[in-house]
Structure 1
Amino acid sequence: MFILTSFRDIIRTPPALFDINLKTSISNYLNEKLSNKVVKNIGLCVALFDIESMDDSFIFPGDGGAHTKVEFRFVVFRPFIEEVIIGKIKNCTKDGVHVTLGFFDDIFIPESCLQHPSRFDEAEQVWIWEYDSNGEKHDLFMDQGEAVRFRVTGETFIETSPVSGSDVDKKTSEQSSSDVPYSISVSISIFKFTKIHYFN
């Protein structure tokens, strides 16, 4: 689910930070720059793991900052295809189920990847699995906040551009995966049970 990814960058340290240890200053900058950011075709950056190397710093004419070439590693969230993960149901729509891991919300189970047979209750806004046990049907509700086990089936990276404040206000909690830079498609159809408390 998490990987270590190597990066290389030239970091500018302003004169106001010269009294701080250079490695500490660069570490703070990298965490601020990359943490909780999606790098296309890499994944969601979580936190700086370590700085592998730092070249000598240079100050260029007309610029009082120190420029340092840095190689570093970042902890990145990018689950592999077929990986099994446990998350929590965020909400249900007629198109499927949205799942969250707490730090990452763009996980979607489409209707076709739910257990069969399942139906959507418009009044309750919840998916219900009609589980057959020895010829008797039992309704198992996929309620908000319930822990659920799922299998990763695909991922999508989208090039996004900044939006104005008015555009942000127009976005809703039901935005499609095309509105976010990184989303994951998952399935629960292969599992006999998915809600964790069924095992308890």
Structure 2
Amino acid sequence: MFILSELEDTVKILPNDFRKDDNTAITDVLNEKYANKVVQEVGLCICVHDILHASEGLILYGDGCSYKKVTFRLVVFRPFVGEILTGRVKSCSPVGVVVTMGFFDDILIPAVALQPGSKFDPAEQVWVWNYEGEKLFMDIEEPIRFKVYRESFTDTTPTNHPTSSTPRRRQSIADATANNELAANSTKVPPYSLTCTINEDGLGLLSWWGS
């Protein structure tokens, strides 16, 4: 679920931070830039793990700030495909079930990835699994176990040239569908999202399996 990713960046340290030791000053700048941000093809950055290397500071004329080229490692949330995670049901719609892990909400279980026999109850606004004549409701905030089926990165960087010929990562039809389904439950397409399934034994609400 969490991995270490190595990155490089140039860090700008303001004169007010010269009183800090180098590692602290660099870590503070990097955390401000990366924490809780999605880096394309890397994942959701949580925090700086350590600083591997930092160059000597370069102070530009008329600027007064110190610039250092830094190699560092970030703690990143990026589950692997096939990994089983536990979260809570955030919302339900005819499209499927949106799950939250508290710090990450862009998790969709599409309707086709629910247990066979599941139906959406428009009156209760929840999904119901009809299992051997018993109705099992997927209530909001219930703990749920699910398997990662696909991840999707979308470049959401604003651009002033929407018709530019600059190459950008092309989405597969499956990725675009997952993002459209998540967009139906939010105001914008997320930069990083997971499409998951519970269509296997042991997956779904923990209360269904007594764990």
Task: Give the TM-score of the pair, scaled to structure 1.
Answer: 0.88
Instruction: Determine the structure 1 residue equivalent to 2:118.
Output: 118
Q: In structure 1, what is the equivalent of residue 195 of structure 2?
A: 185
- Where in structure 2 are the equivalents of 1:1-80 lying within 5 Å? 1-80=1-80
Give the 3-state SS of the residue equivalent to 2:144 in structure 1.
strand
Q: Aligned letter for 2:7?
A: F
Distance 1:157 1:193, change over 3 A: closer
Amino acid at match of 2:70: V
- Helix, strand or coil: the match of 1:128? strand
Secondary structure at the aligned position of 1:127 is classed as strand
Matched letter for residue 37 of structure 1: K
Which secondary structure state, in structure 2, belongs to the residue aligned with residue 12 of structure 1?
A: strand
What residue number does 1:175 align with? Answer: 186
TM-score (norm 2): 0.84
Partner of 2:129: 129
Stretches (4+) displaced over 4 A: none
1:102 maps to 102
The 3-state SS of whatever aligns with 2:119 is strand
CA deviation after TM superposition for structure 1 residue 192, in Å: 4.8
State the Cα distance separating 1:17 from its structure 2 match.
1.6
- Unaligned residue ranges in structure 1 (runs of 5+): 164-171
The count of residues paired between Structure 1 and Structure 2 equals 187
Shift of 1:9: 1.0
Distance 1:100 1:24, change over 3 A: same
Q: Name stretches of at least 5 consecutive residues in structure 2 with no aligned partner.
A: 160-182
Question: Partner of 2:59: helix, strand, or coil?
Answer: coil
Secondary structure at the aligned position of 1:180 is classed as coil
AA in 2 matched with 1:187: T
Specify the SS of the correspondent of 1:179. coil
Distance in 1, matches of 2:121 and 2:92, equals 10
Identity value in percent: 43
Shift of 1:182: 0.5
Mapped partners of 2:74, 2:102: distance in 1: 20
Is 1:147 aligned to 2:143, yes or no? yes
Amino acid at match of 1:182: Y
Please name the residue that 1:194 is paired with: 204
Output the amino acid matched with 1:44: L
